[in-house]
Structure 1
Amino acid sequence: MDKAVTGETGHAIRSGVVRLRALVVDDEPLARRGLEIRLGEHPDIEIVGQYGDGASAIAGLREHRPDLMFLDVQMPGMDGFETLRHIPADEMPLVVFVTAYDHYAIRAFEASATDYLLKPVDETRLHQALARVRLAHSQREASGHCAHLLGLLGELSGKPLLELDEALRPDAIEQLRRDEKLAVRDGGRTVRVDLASIRWIDAAGDYMCIHTDQETLVLRATMRDLEKQLDPQRFPRIHRSTIVNARRVVELRPHTNGEGYLRLDCGQELKLSRSHRDKLALML
């Protein structure tokens, strides 16, 4: 097995760009190297693993949980299509097949591939394939986020198969807010966080950081998403990019221009913006 791993776990954020984690699977080292060089010109694609056979690729996929896989069709032993048959649906990344034979394109799309590339890889076709990948990924993220929220609401309501109209009822949201735990999708795991352990929450681009007594959890969400899930009396928004656990505030210190600073029981200081000064009453 030929394997090279680079990068961080989870999505990397650099200059506001979400990088897609990719595997390159091809039994020809030169083909892998050629694709690596071409992908190096696309800063939002991060190769986290390279493999020379299907079995190794499946193991690598379980280890790295990539967003995208460039998969050679013709490999000895387990070919590209056989490799896909061994990947559970909930672990399947976006797939771009790489092949030397055009007639494989039909089978590629029958296997729900996002696109396919003919060897030798043409730069224009690679740009087109990556454009499809980015679009498919953004759509998958949106649907995945919706499914996650529905699953969470269903779990808390005791109805695992909660339908959309049920989830949108006001009492479903209120039940979610009353729960003492918040379900957070952190990378490849789902963590149920005790609300009392949350110190504060802040935004980092397209991600939210939940700072708890034990760790900092990072999830792809918006401030509005979390505001909907949390009791605003207990977790008020004190800044454009900050929510605080009001019960963890131990000191209020005024600042210029009507702003202020809050000190938490852990020593962390957070800015209270002028537009959110009405939240002071919740922390007194």
Structure 2
Amino acid sequence: MKTVIIDDEKPSREALQHYLTKYCPEVTVVGEADSVESGLEAIRLHQPELIFLDIEMPFGNGFDLLERLPAEQEPEVVFVTAYEQYALRALRLSAAHYLLKPVDIDDLIDAVAKVNSRLGLREQGQVNKALLANLKSGASEVPKRLALPLIDGLEIITPQEIRYLEAADNFTSFVLTDGRKLLICRKLKFYDALLAPAGFCRIHRSTVVNLSQVRRYHRGKGGAVTLEDGTELVVAAARKQALLEALA
């Protein structure tokens, strides 16, 4: 797997290359760069399948590079960051690969394995589009697009397409307005936090609902809600007050 490392800090590039050589034999580092401009040139020159991309760099950041990539050049991207919470939210929303500095070897091996399994699915362009859309929407604002990782690729949806979400052990079941159900390998807690700014509310330990889909609340100890399609969902007593305040 031809790889380019783009990071303005030479020690970080050297450490990452050492780890890749020692622990990821399927990866061949064919080039390095220390800025957006030199990174774009390295990608043009080497045509890598994978790039490791630092987020914070002088005279631009990793997202600037991503936005300037030609459509015909869409390598897999593993972002590398030291802290940027705003960026992390966008990365998570978009199902993008990322590593936190200092890079953990197990996380690196896992990221490379995921990239290797995804190569050939031609989905990186969709990840990039979702990522840039979420960055432009703002970290604390409503996410515009959500990239859901499936076994055979990605499903790109908007929050408005979600009716409700249900916990299924370590998975989350997305029930969409078109009637489909998608089983995603992430816990409900993860999506609860990401979708709260988009008008979603946790009404039960196993259920998060899109408030725009709620048409009626039924009184009771916790009560229940009826959605647009007639689905009735139980509300936990401990979640009742938060739901009523959100609906009000």
Question: TM-score band (shorter)?
Answer: 0.3 to 0.5
Give the TM-score normalised by structure 2.
0.47
Q: Which has the higher contact order (CA 8 A, sep 6+)?
A: 2
Give the TM-score normalised by structure 1.
0.41
Question: Which of 1 and 2 has greater Rg?
Answer: 1
